[in-house]
Structure 1
Amino acid sequence: MFVPRHPTVWAMAGSLLLAPGGLAAAQTPAPDAASQTEESRPEKSSTQGNGAQTPAPTQEAPDGHVPYTPPPEEAAQLPPMPVVDNEEARKEADGLTRDFRHEVPVALKVSTARKTAWIALARQQLEQAGYVIDRPQVLVVVDRNPSVQRLCLILALPNDPDWQVIGSTKVSTGTTGRKYYYITPTGVFTNTADRLGYRALGTKNENGIRGNGIKGMRVWDFGWQWAEKGWLPSREKGQIRLEMHATDPVYLEQRLGHTASEGCIRIPASLNVFIDKHGLIDAEYEQWAAVDMRFKALLRPDRKPTAISGVAVVVVDSADYHPDSDKTAALKENAGPSKLAARG
């Protein structure tokens, strides 16, 4: 980690932030950076004369990372992405649902209303991001609504509106009212070969907290993302290193279901293992594991990757969901001419 001159040090639950002059800074973790225990790692940002933040250049990430472009000979060796038809995908999802009930003891039921809302909001985020569902695949949908704080595994199907719920648990996303805590951004975040995630070492910080969970827990890295500063009324934005990971099993996992993180997505340990073991968002990592030892070393040797694996985590906010808005607008639109006709 880059350590600036004369840094100010803040110790937080599960994290250690180093910052010059009150602004947190960090560098991208190396592929083997499992020793890091912080959650979101705010990045230094330059400011313009009016105090607005200057975005990093688009051709290079703010941490200096340039997306890896494989040599043609390596790309040619990549195995194809698994593809099954919708019927086979549903059967695979049914099997995952049965496994979920046995392997994730903290599983929660999903009501029809929640399913409808999460699918509608996920579709909205996918459309805004230009992410096309071109094959049956699992989506990890996270609802950051402070009164909900849930994650749902959903089978997304091309050309079929009836998407299928696999399982759901409580999570914790970014909170407000605490300095240097960010609000988890909404959007589509992908687990691609541009970045190599890592595994927790299970080390404790100076507060005795295992920020990423016990040794071996998976940490999925979604790169630098803009997020609102939860401690500022203006909700000015800064950049955080967005990750999804387990949390301290003794002190913090019992608090899942409430906003608590510095911006990352905290999940139960059993769900961490389930997503990892079944490769639910490792579709691209599985391809690269065939030609790159780094990816092979990261993935579990006992994994059973599913044929409906995907790459996307979709963060939504059900506080923005208004199921009757379109219906109400349509009724108003239809009511207009009728009233005019009656007057005439």
Structure 2
Amino acid sequence: MSCGVAIAASGAASASASTSASASGTASARAPESMVAKHPARAVDASAVAAPDAAGVVDPRRAFLLRDVFAQDVTRRLKVPAAEQHAYADRMEKALGEHMLGNLSGEYVVMVDRNANVQTLFIYFRATPADSWQMIGASPVSTGRPGEYDHFITPLGVFEHTPSNMDFRSEGTLNENHIRGYGKRDMRIFDLGWAQGERGWGKGGMSQMRFQMHATDPDRLEPLLGIRHSKGCVRIPASLNAFIDHYGILDAEYATLVESGKSLWVLKSDRQVTPWAGRYIVVVDSERKSRPAWAPAPGSKVRAKVPAGADTAD
């Protein structure tokens, strides 16, 4: 199911993303051969990081070792000042509390600021409820841009990443506008299911939209990350997609299925999931009126290269 598709409230919300297809990415009946390819060497071995000490305890503070891996592997990074990191941690904690998750700890949480002047994704972690949330890393994204038919404003809230809405992988094919809407082949589409989204066209109002987080065309659209440009989903850099996928940042419930003996083709054989895998994506709006220096927008030369029809890519 393509991102941001509106439906009538007649029961279509029970449709499964894994049975849907689009020109930019389609769920395959079997895993493509590229999925079993070896991942590049990493600075951190997840199994070693998660190894228990002499007392049989795994120190959750080791979860912060992924900061260095993020800095090494994610090519589109933002240098967020410490004061801003704390402010966003407070926003996230408030949003989690409003969803009865105020004591959440011991797992990674992804947060997105959909504000037009920010357009940023953050990854946070804390070991215990008494600790403060601390940032692992941040990257530019693109969320829903209103003003055109079938374009939603990215919904606010706390969204659970669960196999009930099974992820799939991009085929890397070109659509009619020569855009790889889900990114290059093998990129993972994190499917969050149906959500109530505000229509960004006509008289507005609310409709159900398919909410996903995914990579985008690496040549034509990834350079535009940092401004609103999608149909309602969250577009992320390919290197961030690979990082979240490889280390199972949002795979807590997928890992539970695997541990029960279930085989999931969408999960790569060489992934390294830590004990701190999470499941929540929090979307907030900071309501900023101006763009902070640490979250620069793409330049005019980049925007000038956007082909016609690119906004319909997802």
TM superposition score normalised by structure 2: 0.74
The Cα offsets for residues 60-113 of structure 1, whole Å up to 9 and x where unpaired, read as: xxxxxxxxxxxxxxxxxxxxxx999999222221x1001011101211111123
Do the aligned partners of residues 159 and 15 (structure 1) sit closer, same or farther apart at CA in structure 2, a change above 3 Å counting?
A: closer
Aligned to 1:284: 253
1: CA distance, partners of 2:257 / 2:285: 33
Question: 1:259 aligns to what SS in structure 2?
Answer: coil
Aligned to 2:15: 28
Match of 2:69 among 94, 99, 107: 99
Do the aligned partners of residues 185 and 86 (structure 1) sit closer, same or farther apart at CA in structure 2, a change above 3 Å counting?
A: farther
Do the aligned partners of residues 171 and 119 (structure 1) sit closer, same or farther apart at CA in structure 2, a change above 3 Å counting?
A: same
1: CA distance, partners of 2:243 / 2:234: 16
Would the aligned equivalents of 2:124 and 2:136 in 1 still touch at CA under 8 Å? yes
Q: CA RMSD in A?
A: 3.0
Aligned to 2:280: 312
Aligned to 2:24: 37
Do the aligned partners of residues 310 and 18 (structure 1) sit closer, same or farther apart at CA in structure 2, a change above 3 Å counting?
A: closer
1:317 alignment partner AA = D
1:245 equivalenced with 2:214 (yes/no): yes
Q: CA offset at residue 35 of structure 1?
A: 5.4
Q: CA offset at residue 140 of structure 1?
A: 0.4
2:59 alignment partner AA = E
Question: 2:173 aligns to what SS in structure 1?
Answer: coil
Superposition map of 1:322-337 within 5 A: none
Aligned residue pairs total: 260
Larger Rg: 1
1:88 equivalenced with 2:67 (yes/no): no
2: CA distance, partners of 1:273 / 1:29: 24
Match of 1:229 among 195, 199, 210: 199
Match of 1:254 among 205, 209, 223: 223
1:266 equivalenced with 2:253 (yes/no): no
- Structure 1 stretch 206-215 or stretch 82-91: which is displaced more? 82-91
2: CA distance, partners of 1:265 / 1:18: 16
- Structure 1 stretch 107-116 or stretch 170-179: which is displaced more? 107-116
Aligned to 2:173: 203
Q: CA offset at residue 129 of structure 1?
A: 1.4
1:299 equivalenced with 2:286 (yes/no): no
TM superposition score normalised by structure 1: 0.68
Aligned to 2:159: 189
2: CA distance, partners of 1:19 / 1:189: 19
Do the aligned partners of residues 16 and 113 (structure 1) sit closer, same or farther apart at CA in structure 2, a change above 3 Å counting?
A: closer
2: CA distance, partners of 1:126 / 1:19: 28
Match of 2:148 among 178, 184, 188: 178
2: CA distance, partners of 1:124 / 1:103: 30
2: CA distance, partners of 1:90 / 1:291: 27
1: CA distance, partners of 2:4 / 2:92: 33
2: CA distance, partners of 1:116 / 1:230: 31
Identical aligned residues as a percent? 38
Q: What stretches of structure 2 of length at least 5 have no aligned partner?
A: 27-49, 290-314
Which stretches of structure 1, 4 residues or more, deviate above 4 A after TM superposition? 14-20, 32-36, 82-87
Q: CA offset at residue 33 of structure 1?
A: 4.7
